[in-house]
Every structure is written in structure tokens, then in C-alpha cells.
Amino acid sequence: MKRFALSLLGTLAVATALVAAQNQTPATKAPAQPAGMDSSITGCLIQGSGPSVFILDNARMNASDKNEKGKTYLLAAGTEDVNFRAQVNHEVTVTGTAETKVAPVPPAGQKVAEKDLPKLTAKSITQVADTCTMANR
């Protein structure tokens, strides 16, 4: 009977530890951006497939962190005074609301279709550099 009680207590202790470990977030994971919150994202503004289609390529939340993997966003103007055309091929910081969807992984040698990219609705845009440097791409 003592052996059964000790086994039961040991099993409960292990199960409790496992449940507690699953509820913790890894220390290396960046905190999630709440939906609808503005973010400042820096990347290279490039021309998309049409004259009114613009893309923020190699975009990062922390521009100084070269280890952060760059993302690609389809840009949409959130206000009338956002002028993407004047910033094409410049490194820029865009402040706005970004979708949290993840773009699908394209087949080898191909790019993700623009329609499948997460959208970044820009409220403002600020030029960081005259060109998109290769170190940032």
C-alpha cells in the first residue's frame, strides 16, 4: 500500500511539472504583438507587380539585430499622405498595423505570390537610407 501511494505521488509530481513547463514561453521567443497594435518595421521598399503595388522586403522589428530573420509585407496606405512611390529602393521604417499571418513557403527557386503576403497598413513612412544595402537584405 505504501508503494502504491508513493508511486501515485511521484506520478502526480511529474505530471504537474510537465503541465507547468508547457505553460511557460521560451525566453528566446519575442513577445507577440497584440492584434491591432501599431508596429515600427524597417526594411527595403520595393516596387511590386503593378504601379500601385509596393512591398517591404527583409523587414525587421529590430533593424539593428542582424540575426532577426527578415519578413516580407505587402504595403497598403493607411492614410492619404503616405507616399510609397517616393521611397522605392530606399531603406525605410514603416509604422502601422501588420497582419500576423505567415506567408507560405514557396517551391524552390520561386517567390511567394504577393496576394499571399501578410499586409502592413502604413500610417507613416520614414526614410532610413538612400539605398537598400546588401548587408540588410
Residue 102: give its domain's CATH number.
2.40.50
Q: The C-alpha cell of 127 is what?
A: 526614410
Residue 97 has a pLDDT of: 94
The Cβ of residue 41 has, within 10 Å, a number of other Cβ atoms equal to 21
DSSP 17-69: HHHHHHTSPPTTSPPPPPTT-EEEEEEEEEE-SSTT-EEEEEEESSTT-TTSP
Q: How far is residue 57's CA from residue 88's CA, in Å, rounded to a whole number?
A: 11
Q: What is the pLDDT of residue 35?
A: 53
Q: What is the pLDDT of residue 81?
A: 87
Sites in the chain below the pLDDT cut of 70: 1-36, 134-137
In a domain, 20, yes or no: no
Q: How many domains does the chain have?
A: 1
**Residue 116 within any structural domain of the chain:** yes
Q: Which domain holds residue 52?
A: 37-136
* Residue at 24 is within a domain: no
Decide if 111 is inside a domain. yes
pLDDT in tens, 98-125: 998 888 888 888 888 999 999 999 999 9
In a domain, 21, yes or no: no
Whether the model pTM is above 0.85:
no
| Within a domain: 15 | no
Q: Given this model, what pLDDT does residue 4 score?
A: 54
Check residue 63 and give its pLDDT: 82
pLDDT of residue 86: 93
Q: Which residues pair with 57 in a beta bridge?
A: 44
How is residue 120 annotated by DSSP? E
Alpha-carbon distance of 103 to 55, in angstroms, equals 13
